[in-house]
Chains A and B, each alone.
Chain A
Amino acid sequence: MDYTASEMMTISAARALKNDDVCFVGIGQPSAAANLARLTHAPGVTLIYESGTIGTKPDVLPLSIGDGELAETAVTVVPVPEMFRYWLQGGRISVGFLGAAQLDKFGNINTTVIGPYDKPKVRLPGGGGAPEIASSCGEVFLIMAQSKRGLVDRIDFCTSLGHGPGAGTREKLGLTTKGPSLLVTDLCIMKPDPVTKEFTVVSIHPGVSRDKITGNTGWPVRFAAHVEETPPPTKGELEALRALHERTARAHGGNA
């Protein structure tokens, strides 16, 4: 079956979630990937949205993190202060699944401003739940389309901590969580180098050249010694993803 680069991205991100994970889900691409995992290989995965919905099983993708669909299909709905205090800060979430506007090679995230904070060129939405998702979840998966504008050498503002300026930063700050352990884009999969923590290409999606990856990364991107080819989407994965998007578009009265 033919597929798009965006479908490849969502599907390879979905594959990273395990059946026994408890996942704090960001809106947008992370939400599509997390729900695809639940609808395919990980039916037991617990999905949590910051609106307070725990163990939710939406039939369509929510447009916001608090759509009614999420509450109606949840195991339980808790107040937002409880969500952040007991469940996130309490250490009960294994994976935080996030997107980013700007990301650097150590997985530090900017979703606050492009340009100086006091006189921004572009004012972005801000941190929301992400600063504490990035520090309190067992590990963090990142998903975003690859471009030089997104994957930059220096982020303008550190909204959420990845590995800071490099290996050892999180430990020095007293964090015991792993931080970003996976970056899935529409071109490849990157993981932090075990020693330096710099994101390194470990798997390339079918038909994508190394030049294309280099040309769409804002830092001199490194490739692991052994780079794999990402297995293409299966028929089952593609059908599940497309059906999910179709249901979502119908429900939201337009393109989802």
Chain B
Amino acid sequence: MATAQIMSLREAVAAYVKDGDSIAMEGFTHLIPFAAGHEIIRQKRRRLTIIRMTPDLIYDQLIGMGCADKLVFSWGGNPGVGSLYRLRDAVENGWPHALQIEEHSHAAMANAYEAGAAGLPFAVFRGYVGTDLPKVNSNIKPLKCPFTGEELAAVPSLRPDVAIIHAQKADRAGNVLIEGIVGVQKEAVLAARRAIVTVEEVVESLQGVSPNACILPNWTVSAVAEVPGGAHPSYAHGYYQRDNAFYKAWDEIARERDSFTAWMDDNVMRSGPEAFAARGKAQGKRKAG
């Protein structure tokens, strides 16, 4: 199997993300790959199926910029703040165009990534009991346990064309280290056909970390790109804090189409991955105690 190539983020997105792909950009609040999302927007990818447990600001941006035809998700809000207005505008008014949604619970999506990584066609779990989601999502089916007769829920496994994540470190050989809240990133990468990882820094070696650390060997990843600050306004444990003030500010920015488009133009279309280093640095590390 080919091993990860270290390249620029521009090259990685150009090589591995195609129009019409299904992509999973994961990171559970932590390590959200914003720089990679912006690169996809700049390279004007279209008709994407975008998969993410919590769409967060990153998918609000992709949706508002017209990159996505379909969203697979389980919680679509701005955490602790309120709505994702671009997601809502697409669902409620079809702007900038109609968006198909496939909606799950967190448990279903986490199980579906794990099943994808395990090479299974579907995931089984005890879920959705007594709820209305199975009525509006034909990808949720009941399944009887062959041993006990208990009725369980089944959902198709997630097998994205591309997984994209952000991590703290990679070594020169392209092995990737993820620390802190690890979310579903390992599962998403192992479930996907291709994977792009942006990292805070490329280091000589990962020696000295615990043998149980969350490491993705280089032969599970297609490309590694060094983008310091690449998770901002999300955060990177050990590097910089979550920019909670920006998450609050996004509420105003994204509420109207004009203010959203103007912000995207200034900060994404006429910017580049290099801009993220300063954004991360401005947040600083969390003060101990």
Q: A88 — which chain B residues lie within 8 A by C-beta?
A: 107
Query: Can you list 12 pairs linking A and B with CB atoms under 8 Å apart?
Result: A52-B181, A64-B29, A64-B80, A67-B29, A67-B244, A68-B235, A71-B30, A112-B132, A122-B88, A129-B105, A135-B127, A164-B130
Please give the distance in Å from B255's CB to the nearest CB on chain A.
14
Report yes or no: A53 in contact with B181, Cβ–Cβ below 8 A. Answer: yes
Give the complex CA separation of A201 and B110 in angstroms. 38
Complex contacts, A136 vs chain B, CB 8 Å: 126
Residues of A contacting B235 in the complex (Cβ-Cβ under 8 angstroms): 68
Among B4-12, B69-77, B219-227, the one that faces the other chain is B69-77
B132 touches A157 (CB 8 A): yes
Whether the pair B79, A64 counts as a contact (CB closer than 8 A) is yes
Smallest Cβ distance from A38 to chain B, in angstroms?
17
Are A51's CB and B29's CB within 8 A?
yes
Contact A63 B30 (CB under 8 A): no
Please measure, in the bound complex, the distance between the C-alpha atom of A160 and the C-alpha atom of B241, giving whole angstroms.
Answer: 32
Q: How far is the CA of A69 from the CA of B286 in the complex (A)?
A: 8
Report the Cα distance A53→B180, complex, angstroms.
Answer: 9
> Does B44 sit within 8 A of A, measured CB to CB?
no
Stretch at the interface among B162-170, B183-191, B194-202, B264-272: B183-191
Closest Cβ–Cβ distance, residue B176 to chain A (whole Å): 15
Q: In chain A between 21 and 46, which residues have their CB closer than 8 angstroms to a CB of chain B? A: 27-28
Q: Quick check: is A200 within 8 A (CB to CB) of the other chain?
A: no
Asked if B128 CB lies within 8 Å of chain A CBs, one says yes
Which chain B residues lie closer than 8 Å to A135 at the CB level? Answer: 126-127, 129-130
User: Which A residues have a C-beta under 8 Å from some C-beta of B?
Assistant: 27-28, 50-53, 59, 62-72, 77, 79-81, 83-85, 88-89, 112, 117-118, 120-132, 135-136, 157-161, 164, 169-170, 173-175, 251-254
Among B76, B79, B150, B237, chain A packs the most CB atoms within 10 A around the CB of B79
Given the complex, which residues of B lie within 8 Å of A112, measured CB to CB? 103, 132-133
Bound-complex Cα distance A157 to B131 (A): 8
B186, A85: Cβ atoms closer than 8 Å = no
Instruction: Looking at the assembled complex, report how far the CB atom of A15 sits from the nearest CB atom of chain B, in whole angstroms.
Output: 24
Our pick among A52, A127, A160 for the contact of B74 (Cβ within 8 Å) is A127
Total A-B contacts with CB atoms under 8 angstroms apart:
187
Given contacts A71-B180, A254-B245, contact A169 B75 (CB under 8 A): no
Number of interface residues of B (CB under 8 A): 58
Q: How far apart are A254's CB and chain B's nearest CB, in angstroms? A: 6
Identity of the chain B residue whose Cβ is nearest the Cβ of A155 in the assembled complex: B132
Which of the listed residues B73, B110, B129 has the most CB atoms from chain A within 10 Å of its own CB? B129
Contacts of A51 in B (CB 8 A): 28-30, 181, 183
Residue ID in chain A nearest B125 by CB atoms = A89
Say whether A131 contacts B28, CB under 8 Å: no
Distance between Cα atoms of A88 and B104 in the complex (Å): 17
User: Which of chain B's residues has its CB closest to A91's CB?
Assistant: B126
Interface of A is mostly: loop
User: Given the complex, which residues of A lie within 8 Å of B104, measured CB to CB?
Assistant: 127
- B113 within 8 A of partner (CB): yes
Q: Is the CB of A85 within 8 A of B77?
A: no
A190 to chain B, nearest CB (A): 20
Interface membership of B276, Cβ < 8 A = no
Q: Which of B29, B74, B248 contacts A66 (CB 8 A)?
A: B29
Cα distance A200–B187 in the bound complex, in angstroms: 44
Q: Which residues of B contact A59 (CB under 8 A)?
A: 289
Mark B238-282 against chain A: 1 for CB-CB distance below 8 A, else 0: 000110110110000000000000000000000000000000000
Chain B residues with CB under 8 Å of A123's CB are 76, 83, 87-88, 91-92
Q: Is B19 an interface residue (CB 8 A)?
A: no
Given contacts A79-B187, A85-B114, 18 further A-B contacts (CB under 8 A): A28-B80, A52-B181, A66-B28, A66-B29, A67-B244, A68-B242, A71-B180, A81-B111, A81-B113, A84-B125, A85-B111, A89-B127, A127-B75, A127-B106, A132-B106, A157-B132, A174-B150, A174-B151
Give 1 or 0 for each of B13-31: 1 = CB within 8 Å of chain A CB. 0000000000000001110
Q: Specify which chain B residues have a CB less than 8 angstroms from the CB of A65 in the assembled complex.
A: 29, 79
- B107 touches which of A52, A132, A252 (Cβ 8 Å): A132
A49-B241 Cα distance, complex, nearest whole Å: 18
Chain A residues in 8 Å Cβ range of B83 = 123, 125
B143 interface hit (Cβ, 8 Å):
no
Q: Does B111 lie within 8 Å of A84, measured CB to CB?
A: yes
Q: Which residues of B contact A158 (CB under 8 A)?
A: 130-132
Measured between beta carbons, the chain B residues less than 8 angstroms from A127 are 74-75, 103-106, 131, 133
Q: Do A175 and B129 have beta carbons less than 8 Å apart?
A: yes
Q: Which residue of B lies closest to A118 (CB)?
A: B136
Q: Separation in Å of the B179 CB from the closest CB of chain A? A: 9
The complex places the Cα of A72 from the Cα of B286 at a distance, in Å, of: 10
* A107 shortest CB reach to chain B, Å: 11
Residues of A within 8 A of B106 (CB): 50, 80, 84, 127-129, 132
Residue of chain A at shortest CB distance from B286 = A68
Alpha-carbon distance A128/B125, docked complex (angstroms): 15
